[in-house]
């Protein structure tokens, strides 16, 4: 893989690919190349048949979902066409059909239980931003101090997915905790507005995304909640609960940073219809 990395990094640099996408592509290309090399197949001899065998391995032995396998296919296609300069045949290597599944949306009570169970101020502030502002986990990790604006009650999100920038709302509850966290973490004169809001263990780095994810897993398990609840669930809850509160879907789309309204419309399926004033005909007769 080392002989290809320079060329791959150059392409990503020229295109301005976000770091998260770059890391994802690199990780999947490395896994594919290791698989091929373990079978003593030279890269120049690589065929569509070899790729098909790898996809079957991901499906049958690794048990990966269709969506995850499609992400691998995208990375392999990039490597096959850009690095090896070979022709890609989508008929021979089709993308897997995805079965639509809805994420778990815990009740507001369960969400508040999770937030209340968080005693660490830094962790609490991060989770409150996930739920209170609808941020992605990676977006919370990469917030800088100047991204929080208490005057306008907005959170600025820079270089998000698809290289987009946006603003979303800042919760008053989150702001109170953020102020507490800030006072205990940053001493006067020890920081600049450009510094990471949530610094990591190494100087100059932001908190690791996995740390936020693991924090949520520990809380979920401690409270014995649904095993499918993750840190990203709080973003889903933000969108669903906003809809239930009567917020127009186009505003939710803007706050979430969705390029397509259809992506946001999935939350219409997950709302508690009773909270939106919709009653069963069984309860409205007579």
Beta-strand ranges (E) seen in 111-197 are 148-149, 154-157, 166-169
**Which of 28, 123, 124, 136 is flagged as catalytic?**
136
Distances (CA, A) of 223 to 98, 105, 138: 32, 16, 24
Degrees (nearest 5) of the Cα angle 268, 272, 273?
Answer: 75
**Which of 28, 124, 236, 258 is flagged as catalytic?**
258
**Which of 22, 156, 161, 166 is flagged as catalytic?**
161
**Which of 124, 235, 236, 241 is flagged as catalytic?**
235
Is 235 part of the annotated catalytic residue set?
Answer: yes
Q: Which two tokens stand for residue 156?
A: 């600025």
Is 220 part of the annotated catalytic residue set?
Answer: no
Is 123 part of the annotated catalytic residue set?
Answer: no
Do the Cβ atoms of 82 and 11 come closer than 8 Å?
Answer: yes
Q: Identify the CA nearest to 121 among candidates 174, 175, 181.
A: 181
Distances (CA, A) of 207 to 122, 134, 148, 166, 256: 10, 18, 17, 21, 22
Is 206 part of the annotated catalytic residue set?
Answer: no
**Which of 25, 80, 131, 267 is flagged as catalytic?**
267
**Which of 22, 166, 213, 232 is flagged as catalytic?**
232
Is 144 part of the annotated catalytic residue set?
Answer: no
Is 11 part of the annotated catalytic residue set?
Answer: no
Do the Cβ atoms of 93 and 55 come closer than 8 Å?
Answer: yes
Active site residues: 136, 161, 232, 235, 258, 267
């Amino acid at each position: 893989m080392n002989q290809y990395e320079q060329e791959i990094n150059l392409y990503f640099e020229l295109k301005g690919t976000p770091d998260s996408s770059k890391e994802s592509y690199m990780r999947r290309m490395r896994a594919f190349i290791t698989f091929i090399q373990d079978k003593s197949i030279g890269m120049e001899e690589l065929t569509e048949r070899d790729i098909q065998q790898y996809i079957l391995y991901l499906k049958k032995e690794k048990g990966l979902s269709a969506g995850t396998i499609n992400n691998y296919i995208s990375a392999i296609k990039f490597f096959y066409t850009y690095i090896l300069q070979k022709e890609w045949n989508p008929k021979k290597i089709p993308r897997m059909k995805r079965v639509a599944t809805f994420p778990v949306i815990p009740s507001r009570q369960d969400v508040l239980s999770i937030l209340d169970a968080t005693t660490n101020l830094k962790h609490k502030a991060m989770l409150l931003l996930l739920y209170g502002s609808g941020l992605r986990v990676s977006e919370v990790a990469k917030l800088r101090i100047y991204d929080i604006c208490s005057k306008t009650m907005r959170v600025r999100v820079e270089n998000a997915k698809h290289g987009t920038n946006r603003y979303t709302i800042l919760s008053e509850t989150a702001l109170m905790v953020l102020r507490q966290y800030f006072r205990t973490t940053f001493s006067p004169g020890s920081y600049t507005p450009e510094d990471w809001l949530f610094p990591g263990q190494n100087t100059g780095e932001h908190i690791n995304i996995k740390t936020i994810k693991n924090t949520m897993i520990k809380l979920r398990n401690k409270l014995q909640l649904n095993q499918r609840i993750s840190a990203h669930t709080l973003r889903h809850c933000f969108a669903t609960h906003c809809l239930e509160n009567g917020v127009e879907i186009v505003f939710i789309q803007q706050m979430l940073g969705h390029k397509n309204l259809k992506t946001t419309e999935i939350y219409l399926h997950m709302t508690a219809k009773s909270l939106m004033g919709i009653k069963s005909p069984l309860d409205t007769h007579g």
